[in-house]
Amino acid sequence: MGTGVSASVLGCAGPSLSPDEAAFFHDARPWGFILFARNVETPDQLRRLTDDLRASVGRDAPVLVDQEGGRVQRLRAPHWREWAPPLDEGQGLAPSDRARAIWLRYRLIAEELRAVGIDANCAPTLDLAWPSTHPFLQNRCFGGDPAAVAEAGRAAAEGLLAGGVLPVMKHLPGHGRAAVDSHHDLPRLAAPLDELDGTDFAPFRALADLPMAMTAHIVVEAVDAGRPATQSPAAVALIRDRIGFSGLLLSDDLSMQALAGTLGERAGAAIAAGCDIALHCNGKRPEMEAVVAAAGTLGTAAARRAEAALARRIRPDAIDTAALDAEFGALLRGPARV
């Protein structure tokens, strides 16, 4: 991968790639792509789309999706399985059984994704579920105990990796205390740093070896009272140094209204703060043009982290899907309760 690759991940408008979009992506050279429900119809259609996206840039670019389960699940019935929200999965099981169930869940999700050419999943969500957590996020979390969330997140990440799908943990340095929805407003966290260190930061620190992560559009007042983490050099330094994450760092979607300014200003601020990749999801051409222009190309360190992330994509071993699915179901019904 040369440094001419754009420091961006972009979306496309619909279920097929138009010649105009293909020409734009050829010239823009985004590092990767992200898909949403508007892009998804059938397995055959989706496989054609992911093939066409990669052909537009002439390389095996990563294709991302949000397939957490529950409300945030882009591939849905009737062609794909409907998964429970992460917060609900395996509640009441013994810890080892819950970890196994979550591994199986995400190994099966990986199998579904790879079959249609998707090789990165924006999961696990390692934010803590607090009583005050906004409903947009609450049941997307694995729970409120940092150690239990870390264990569940590790199981999810390892299930995805075993299936040849790269996990993208989110939202660093921790979005769970947010009482407002960052799609519409900018949340602020007033908790002291030492308290955050032992709670919100802890699951991310435990999984700091993962290949990719996503920032939070949230102000951590103890770190930088003026800027959201996505655009804060101090917050990105905390993610790198205090939490210890050394992998590829993506912004959350730059079109979310927690951020101010034009799309170009949002992208430029994220890259200047230390994000490696500017993520833009809605597929709107003028906005993508502004993001690509402002994000620039991958620098040396970012390109090295991007290469290291892609090196962790594997061709997975064949699995007996029916057997894993049966084991998953048996665990969820099983007697091992605590």
Residue 23 is assigned to a structural domain of this protein: no
Question: Which residue out of 66, 119, 200, 252 is catalytically annotated?
Answer: 252
Number of domains in the chain: 1
Residue 79 is assigned to a structural domain of this protein: yes
Residue 227 is assigned to a structural domain of this protein: yes
Q: Cβ–Cβ contacts within 10 Å for residue 303, how many?
A: 20
Domain interval for residue 98: 60-274+299-331
Q: What is the largest CA-CA distance in the chain?
A: 57
Q: What is the pLDDT of residue 335?
A: 66
Residue 91 is assigned to a structural domain of this protein: yes
pTM: 0.95
User: What does 199-221 look like in DSSP terms, one character per residue?
Assistant: TTTHHHHHTTTSSEEEE---EET
The reply to whether 171 belongs to the active site is: no
Question: Which residue out of 183, 185, 197, 325 is catalytically annotated?
Answer: 183
The reply to whether 79 belongs to the active site is: no
Tokens of 249: 């760092």
Residue 80 is assigned to a structural domain of this protein: yes
Q: What share of the chain is helix, strand, coil (3-state, %, to 5)?
A: 40, 15, 45
Among positive and negative, which fits the CA dihedral 132, 134, 140, 146? negative
CATH number at residue 220: 3.20.20.300
Q: What is the pLDDT along the chain (338 residues), one digit of tens a residue?
A: 445 999 999 999 999 999 999 999 999 999 999 999 999 999 999 999 999 999 999 999 999 999 999 999 999 999 999 999 999 999 899 999 999 999 999 999 999 999 999 999 999 999 999 888 888 888 999 999 999 999 999 999 999 999 999 999 999 999 889 887 778 788 899 999 999 999 999 999 999 999 999 999 999 999 999 999 999 999 999 999 999 999 999 999 999 988 999 999 999 999 999 999 999 999 999 999 999 999 999 999 999 999 999 999 999 999 999 999 999 999 998 864 44
